[in-house]
Structure 1
Amino acid sequence: MKRVKLKKTNSIVLLAGLIILEISFTTILRNTWLSPSANGIVLFLLSLLIGFFPFIFPGDGKSVNDKLIKTNLSKYFWLFLIGLNFLFWVRYIHLYPVRVQESDIIPTIELLVKRQQAGIFPYMIISEWGYDLQPTYLPFTWMPFHLTEFMMIDYRYLVFASWLLLCYYLYRKFIVGNRTTYGQLILLLLFQAVFWLFLFYGDLTFVRTVELMIVTYYCFFLFSLESKNTWLIALSLLICLLSRYSLAVWVPFFFLLSIKDSGMRQTMKWVTVVLAGILLIYIIPFLSVDFSIFLRGIKAYASAAAGEWRGQSWQAATEKPFQLFRGTGLAAYFYDHSEGSVEQKIGLYKNIHLVSIILVTALLCGWYFIAGRKQKFYMPLIASASLKIYFSFFYGFIMTPYVYLFIVPVITSLLVLYYFMQQSGISQNSA
C-alpha cells in the first residue's frame, strides 16, 4: 500500500473534514443533495477513505505542537451540556414511547429480562404479539436491563446512562485542570454533535433502540487499547462480542496486531478470558439448553430483513422499500440495479455481505503478513482504522440499513481521528 507524505496538520484537517462529511451525509444532509442510492454510495466511500487514511497518509514524521490551552469550558459547562442532553433525551422518549408495532427492540429486551427473572428460559420463541419471533439478542444487549426492571423505569434511561458514562470518561480524559488541546476540544465537540444530529436528524427509531449503549461498548474497547491492560482489553472485547455479532469476523486481524504489539503470552491471556467469558455467560447458560437458537436466530434475522426488502405494510405495491431507501448502505443501489426477483436479490446480497467482510479481514491479515509486521506502527490506530474499514463493508452491505445503526461506524471514525492525533503528537493531554 503506497504511503503519501503530508504535513501532520494537513493530514489531521483532511481526516477531520472527511469525518465531518460522513457525519453530515448520515444525518443532516442525508437524502437532501443526493438520491438515496447515491447518498449510500458516498457514505460507503467516505467510510473507506477514513479507514484507509492512516495507512495511506502517515504524515511527514514531525510532531504537531498543539499546545495546551486554557478553556472556559469548566466542569459546570459540561454539566450543563449533559443536562441539556438529558432534557432532549427525556423529551424524545416521551414523544416517542415504545410500541411493539413500531419497534420490537425494547419490548423484546423487556420480555427477555422478565423471563429470566421469572426463571423461564429467555430464548423461547416470542408469540405474545400475534406472531412468532425468535429472540436473537446476545446477553450484553439485554442483561444490563435487569437494573432498569428493578428500578421500574423506562429501559431507555439506562441507554442514556451509558452515553453519560462515555461523556464523563471523555471529559476526564481530555479536560485536565480546565486545560485541553485544540484537537481534544474538537473531538469533544464532535462526539456531542454526533449525539444531537442522530437525535434530531437521524431516525425516530433511534430513541427506541439501545444503539447508544452498543456505541459505548465499542468506544471503551477501542480506548482500552492504549492502556495495554490485558484484562481491560479482554473484558471490553468480551462485552462487544456478547452484544453484537458484527465484530466477530474482524477479531482474527486484531489477534495478529496484538501479538506484534504485546507478544503471544499477553495475547493468549485476553483470548483465554474472552473464550471463557463466552462459554460461561452465553454457551453454558443459554446455548447449551438449546443449540438450535443460534441458527434460528440467524434465520429470524434473515426473515425480518426479507420483510423490509418487500416494503412496509402501509406502502403501495409499486413503491420502493422504505427502509432500504433512507440514504444509508448500498441496499438501495443493489435493489435498483440487480436482476431477478426480490428473493433472488436478497439471497445474492446476503452472500455479498458475508463474503465481503470475510474477504476484507483476509486482506487485512494479508497486509499484516506482507508488510505490517515489518513496520513500526501505533497499534490502537491501526486497530481502529482496520475496524473502520471492516465496518465500511459490514454496514455498507448490511441487509437492512436502518439509519440508527450507523452511529457505530460514525463514532468509530472519531476514534480513528483521536488515535491519529495521538500518533501525530497533537493530542498529548490524555489523563
Structure 2
Amino acid sequence: MAPNKSLTRRRFVTLTATTGTSLALAGCGADQLPAETDEDQTETDTETSSTHRRAQTTREEHEVDVEPGSHPRTNYQLDVHDKRWNTYPLWIDQNGRIYGRSGTDVTVSDDWYHTTEVLFSFEEIDDDHVQMVIVPEGGNIIAAVGGRGDTGGRIYRLHDDLSGAEKLYQFEYGRALPGMGHAVYDDIIVLSCYALSDFEANQHANEVILSTDGGRSFNRILEAPLKTTDAANLHVHDVEYDPYADRIWVVVGDNGNTQLYWSDDRGSSWEAIAEQGEVTMLTQIAAFKDCVAFGTDGTPEGIIRWERKGANDKPDGVDDLVRPYIKIETDPTDDTMEMYARGRWHIREDDGRELCLMAFGYSPMDTGTDSVVLASVNGAEWYELYRTQTRKILLTTVLGPLSMDGPRRTVVSDSTQSEGYQVNATVPKFWT
C-alpha cells in the first residue's frame, strides 16, 4: 500500500440520506460476478521477494476504541501474505481451526493458515475440485465439490472418523462459492449455487437448499424462476438466515431477472418484494437486529439498508431498498470504482452484540483496482477497515473474528484468484 495516498482514500464510509424514487444501479453482466480460475492451473509454490508486508502503522497504534458515528480517519494495518499458494482458507470453526481447499483436498490449519495439512482428499470419491468448506457449531464438516461444467456441484458431509464422505445433495447446475451464497446459524445451513447461465441449454444456477440438522441432510427449498433471457443470467447471488425473524432471505440476479425473496416458514412458501426484475442488483445480505443490509453491485458502490420496525416487519416494495445507503468513498478523480459486495462474515454474541464484515472488490473485467472491507455492529454505521489499493489482491472471502472480544483477528483472502494472496488484520474495537 502506497503510504502517500490521499486521506480521501482512507476515509471510512458516508451515510447518505437520499430522497426521491428508486435508484437504478448498474447490473452485473456475464463477466461481473466471481470469475474463478482453476486453482490447479497454478502449481508453483514460490514466494515473491517478501513473504509479509506491513503498513507503517503498528498494531498498538491500530488498536484504538472507535466511537460509532465518529468516522475517524486512520492508516491501514495490514499483514499481506503474497506467497503464491495453491491452497485457500475458506472457513474458521469455533475452535479457531481454519479449513481450506487445494485441488481435490480439504486442508486444515491450526496456526492461522501459515501452515496447512491435508485433512481429507476427494481424489478417489469425486475427482473434482473442492469449492467450499463449512463447519457449523455441531462440528460436521461440509464440503462442496465440483460444479464448473454441465454437471452440478455436489454437497458432501465428511464421516466423523474421516474414513469417507456421504453425498447429501447435487445441484442441477452450478456450484457453491467461497464468498457468496451461504449462511450458517447453529444447526441451520442455507446454501445456493452459482454459475453463468446457458439459456440455450436451459441451464441456470437457481437452486437454494437448506439443512436444519447441522449439515446431516439438505433439501431444496427454492428454484428461482426465469423471467427473461434478455438478462445476462439467472442465478442466485446470496442467501441469509435471519435469526431475529426466523426468516430466510435470497437475492437473485441479473438485471431483468433480479428478485428479493424471503420465507418465514423455512422455505415452504415465499414472498417477493416486487415483480421480478424491478429490484436493483444485490449481491450480499446481512441481517441485523434492527435492519437488513444489502450489499450492492453498481454505482454508488456500497450498502442499501432496510430498517425494520420489528421481527415480523416485511419490506413494502422496492422503495424500501433505496434510502439510506452507505456509499464507499472513492478517489475524487474516479467516481466509479466498479466494486461490488463479494463476501461477508457475521457473528452474533449471546449478550446481543453483533459484528458483520463485508468485502467489496472489482469485477475482473473492469478497470478498478481497489478492494475494501467494511464493518458494522448495527447495520447503520459502517466503517472501512482495509483497502488493498492493488489489483493483485481481490478480496472475496472474509473469515473471523470468532468473538467481538479478545484478539479479533481476521483473514481476508482472494480465493477466486489463482495467486492465493491473503490479508491478515485485526478489527479495531469500535463498540461500547
Q: TM class by shorter-chain length?
A: under 0.3
Greater percentage in strand: 2
TM-score computed with the length of structure 2 as normaliser: 0.26
- Larger RCO (alpha carbons 8 Å, 6+ apart): 1
Structure number with bigger Rg: 1
